[in-house]
């Protein structure tokens, strides 16, 4: 008795074959994450004297077209592409007088800390919490054009096991999916996923490894890039469909006490990427004394060139297209031979 082997029907399977060929031709280039350090900006507290520029750029960063938006504990700042200040909604003086950018109704609730931020469609999404226990996570919405408060804020909730503790170090916007993301600062292997329209809790995404001390994050395509204030100052990325986590790079470690803060990404028209990471540098280990003239924030700027298929990848791609053309001709030839 002869056993019939199932045969692959080529005419019907050409989309799968072409997909495999495309994957083979593109995946090597896409897998390369060769980020190169392009430059470092240093923002000092007292250059010029009493300017507190480093303070205003010490918690978070986001790209808004040709502008940058920064956050610090009590407010927001807009700058141009060369980091020249355009507007601040808060002020700190040498005498310690504070004019906060956090609206008074939110301050009255004890919300006295802004973490990393994100921007989408003209709106700044600012993470808010109470520095006394970090148990009141919120996200507040501001207008990116003038840093004014929209009047909208939402309390964040996590899983039933961790409903509201330590969730607002940062928020990241995923407009394509209609989600926002957050994560507890302590060690954990889940991301909290929120509905972007009202920041109600949707579900959790489980990661394939635990991460701790995540201080900022941004979405790029199917990946969430995260800046960690761990011992190695690691930038991670997590796939938003599978939860797979990869290490991207480790930022430099200058001498002194250090703290990694926010992260921002920008995709350029030619396919290249820019990444910016904030690092507080206290070279004198002064416990971040506001009178320390050496205290500053380093902004590390990395670049990733646009992915270009290797020559052999082009050959595979062309071969796949040729196979597709051949498979599409065969049914037509068969039909003509029967007629």
The pair of structure tokens assigned to 7 is 């045969």
Binned at pLDDT 50, 70 and 90, residue 3 comes out as very low
* Four-residue CA torsion sign, 113, 171, 280, 76: negative
Q: Is residue 204 scored above 80 in pLDDT?
A: yes
Query: CA 214 → CA 40, 98, 166, 183, 225, distances in Å?
Result: 21, 28, 11, 8, 10
Q: Is the pLDDT of residue 168 over 90?
A: no
pLDDT at 299 over 80: yes
pLDDT of residue 52: 96
Quick one: pLDDT at residue 212? 94
pLDDT at 15 > cutoff 70: no
Q: What confidence score (pLDDT) does residue 309 get?
A: 58
Average pLDDT over residues 203-214: 94
- Rounded Cα distance between 227 and 183, Å, is 12
In this prediction, residue 120 carries a pLDDT of 98
Give the tokens for residue 31: 């897998």
Superfamily of domain 36-311: Glycosyl hydrolase domain; family 43 (2.115.10.20)
Q: Residue 266: which of 277, 257, 251 has the closest Cα?
A: 277
What average pLDDT does this structure show over 292-299? Answer: 97
Q: What is the 3-state secondary structure (H, E, C) of the chain?
A: CCCCCCCCCHHHHHHHHHHHHHHHHHHHHHHCCCCEEEEEEEEECCCCCCCCHHHHCCCEEEEECCEEEEEECCEEEEECCCCCEEEECCEECCCCCEECCCCHHHHCCCCCEEEEEEEECCEEEEEEECCCCCCCCEEEEEECCCCCEEEEEEECCCECCECCCCCCCCCEEECCCCEEEECCCCCEEEEEEEECCCCEEEEEEEEEEEECCEEEEEEECCEEEEEECCCCCEEEEEECCCCCEEEEEECCCCCCEEEEEEEEEEECCCCCEEEEEEEEEECCCCCCCCCCCCCEEEEEEEEECCCCCCHHHHHHHHHHHHHHHHHHHHHHHHHHHHC
Write down the mean pLDDT value for the chain. Answer: 85
Per residue in 104-123, pLDDT tens?
999 999 999 999 999 999 99
Residue 322: band (very low, low, confident or very high) from pLDDT cuts 50, 70, 90: low
**Residue 134 pLDDT level (bands cut at 50, 70, 90):** confident
- pLDDT of 257 over the 90 cut: yes
Using 50, 70 and 90 to split pLDDT, how confident is the model at 24? very low
pLDDT digits (tens, 9 = 90+) for 27-76: 333 445 799 999 999 999 999 998 999 999 999 999 999 999 999 999 99
Residue of 272 and 26 predicted with greater confidence: 272
> For 83-92, 127-136, 291-300, which range has the lowest pLDDT when averaged over its residues?
127-136
* Averaged pLDDT for residues 271-292: 96
pTM summary value:
0.83
Q: Is the pLDDT of residue 157 over 90?
A: no
Residue 35 contacts residue 304 (beta carbons within 8 Å): yes
- For the range 161-165, what are the long-range contacts, defined as Cβ-Cβ under 8 Å and sequence gap of 24 or more? 164/135, 164/136, 164/137, 165/134, 165/135
Q: Are 181 and 157 in contact (CB under 8 A)?
A: no
pLDDT of residue 316: 52
Give the per-residue pLDDT at 264.
98
Contact call for residues 44 and 293 (beta carbons, < 8 A): yes
The neighbour count for residue 283, using CB atoms within 10 Å, is 14
Phi-psi region at 115: left, alpha or beta (left = phi > 0; alpha = psi -120 to 50) = beta
CA 95/CA 65 separation, integer angstroms:
35
- Report the pLDDT value the prediction gives residue 95, as an integer from 0 to 100: 84
Selected residue with higher pLDDT from 338 and 198: 198
**How far, in Å, CA of 41 to CA of 105, rounded?**
35
CA proximity to 38, closest of 304, 305, 302, 306: 302
**By the 8 A CB rule, do 64 and 80 touch?**
no
What pLDDT was estimated at residue 337?
54
Tokens of 157: 């909730």
| pLDDT at site 110 | 95
Question: 211-249: per-residue pLDDT in tens?
Answer: 999 999 999 999 999 999 999 999 999 999 999 999 999
pLDDT of residue 14: 37
Looking up tokens 């595979």 gives 316
Write down the pLDDT at residue 167: 74
């Amino acid at each position: 008795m002869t056993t019939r082997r199932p045969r692959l029907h080529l005419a019907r399977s050409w989309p799968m074959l072409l997909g495999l060929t495309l994957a083979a031709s593109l995946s090597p280039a896409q897998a390369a994450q060769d980020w190169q350090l392009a430059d470092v900006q240093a923002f000092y507290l007292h250059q010029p004297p009493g300017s507190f520029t480093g303070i205003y750029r010490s918690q978070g960063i986001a790209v808004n077209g040709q502008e940058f938006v920064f956050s610090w504990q009590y407010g927001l700042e807009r700058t141009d592409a060369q980091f020249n200040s355009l507007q601040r909604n808060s002020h700190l003086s040498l005498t310690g007088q504070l004019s906060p950018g956090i609206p008074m109704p939110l301050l009255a609730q004890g919300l006295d800390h802004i973490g990393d931020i994100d921007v989408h469609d003209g709106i700044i999404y600012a993470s808010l919490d109470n520095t006394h226990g970090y148990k009141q996570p919120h996200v507040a919405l501001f207008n990116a054009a003038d840093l004014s408060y929209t009047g909208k804020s939402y309390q964040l909730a996590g899983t039933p096991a961790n409903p509201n503790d330590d969730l607002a170090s940062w928020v990241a916007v995923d407009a394509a999916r209609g989600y926002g993301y957050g994560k507890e600062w302590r060690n954990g292997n889940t991301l909290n996923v929120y509905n972007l329209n009202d920041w109600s809790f949707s579900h959790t995404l489980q990661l394939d490894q635990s991460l701790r001390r995540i201080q900022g994050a941004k979405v790029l395509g199917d990946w969430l890039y995260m800046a960690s204030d761990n011992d190695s100052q690691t930038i991670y990325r997590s796939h938003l469909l599978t939860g797979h986590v990869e290490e991207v790079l480790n930022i430099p470690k200058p001498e002194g006490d250090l703290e990694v803060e926010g992260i921002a990404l920008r995709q350029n028209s030619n396919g290249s990427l820019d990444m910016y990471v904030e690092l507080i540098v206290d070279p004198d280990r002064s416990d971040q004394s506001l009178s320390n003239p050496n205290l500053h924030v380093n902004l590390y700027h990395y670049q990733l060139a646009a992915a270009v298929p290797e020559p052999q990848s082009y050959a595979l791609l062309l071969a796949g297209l040729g196979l597709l053309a051949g498979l599409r001709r065969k049914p037509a030839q068969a039909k003509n031979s029967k007629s």
